[in-house]
A = this chain, B = another copy of it.
Amino acid sequence: MKKYHEEHQLLRDSLRQFIEKEITPNLQQWEDQEECPKHLFKKMGELGFIGANFPEEVGGSGMDFLASEIVMAELSYANIGGFTGSYYAHTFLPLPLLNAMGTDEQKDKYLRPAIQGDMIASLAITEPGAGSDVKGISTFGEDAGDHFILNGSKIFITNANIGDFMVVVTRTGEGHKMTLLIVENHWEGVSCSPIDKKLGWHTSDTAQVFFDNVKVPKENVIGEINKGFYYLMNNIQEERLLMSVMATHTAQYAYDEAVKYVRDRKAFGSTLSKLQVMRHKIAKMATQLESCHAMTDRALLAFMDIGPKATEVITMSKVYTAETAMEIINQAIQAHGGNGYVETYGVARAWRDTRLFSIGAGSSEIMYEIISKFEID
């Protein structure tokens, strides 16, 4: 089982205080305005919530992966899926690539400020014509000697409207030949257009991004040219594992709300919690929730033990928790009756926000594609 040490506990405590003070009181307002509370990045950077699991050399705290798990768990439990997604798309998508393969200059210029919350970052893979099929991307970087000329467009890019730089997955050859380029959002030829009306993740920022002859100096290539696809695949395990953490802890939130609700809600001369059907509903939800924790922890321990080689169990955990969390939250809504349909009760938001997890970071169908390769081929 997971073993938390004192430093983990301290991290959790300080984050909980932060959430209680800075997030929870304003959450409903941000949700209503469908606005990403961008200013939180700075505060979270200062308090070490972005850098917890990054090395001290780049401004992090050098904690182990449990630190990342804790931060994602606590934010998810706060039921602010959108901002949690923005934080996640910053901290765990582009930054680990920079950390793993970036040059010292790149780290100084981009990673360090991003860890401090002074810069906000995105990872731009998806295109209007290529989502699951990453090899289908067509955003092209033409080699022009000391720089690339970048053309194309990206879609669904979290943090791009509010961000400072993005790591752009760029075709630089046929097939798997892709290169990761650091592109600053204010550069000439870069433009963003917000995707406003989303089903959930209302407090995240999502953009369509256009590159029109953008000049990207070669010092902004991460790692080697044409190797981007492989860097991406390596990093994606961490991303999927943390999505499993998100799904599980949002479900935990909804579950806890449901238990509280049925204990209090009067009906038929008693409370809902005395009705056997409601009791079994809760018991089944609790069992499913436990299975989400069991899968996530199993994947987590495997990842901490053997790293990205834990691919299969992480993939399983990702698809399993994404689907199961929805079932739990759906029943949490049901237990609330009409109030489950009112946004101020929180479970509706949890449901909308969690729906993304079967689509993003590799859809459920893509997860099964991967698992079937492990199992059959």
Q: Which residues of A contact B (CB under 8 A)?
A: 1, 32, 126, 129-133, 136, 155-156, 195, 197-201, 259, 262-263, 266-269, 273, 275-280, 282-284, 286-287, 290-291, 293-295, 297-298, 301, 313, 316, 319-320, 333-334, 337-338, 340-344, 348, 351-352, 355-356, 358-360, 363-365, 367-372, 374-376
The residues of B that contact A276 with a CB separation of less than 8 Å are 275-277
Most B-side CB within 10 Å, residue of A259, A277, A282: A277
Query: Measured between alpha carbons, how far is A49 from B297 in the docked complex, in Å?
Result: 32
Number of copies of this kind of chain in the complex: 4
B348 adjacent to A199 (CB under 8 Å):
yes
The residues of B that contact A295 with a CB separation of less than 8 Å are 290-291, 294
Enumerate 23 A-B pairs (CB-CB under 8 Å) in ascending A order: A1-B298, A1-B301, A131-B337, A132-B267, A156-B338, A201-B341, A277-B365, A279-B368, A279-B372, A280-B368, A282-B372, A282-B375, A283-B370, A283-B375, A284-B368, A286-B316, A286-B374, A286-B375, A290-B298, A291-B295, A334-B364, A338-B360, A341-B359
B259 adjacent to A199 (CB under 8 Å):
no
Q: A289's closest neighbor in chain B, by CB?
A: B316
Q: Say whether chain A's binding surface is mostly helix, strand, loop, or mixed.
A: helix
Known: A267-B133, A291-B291, A320-B291. A198 touches B341 (CB 8 A): yes
Known: A286-B371, A291-B294, A316-B286. A263 touches B355 (CB 8 A): no
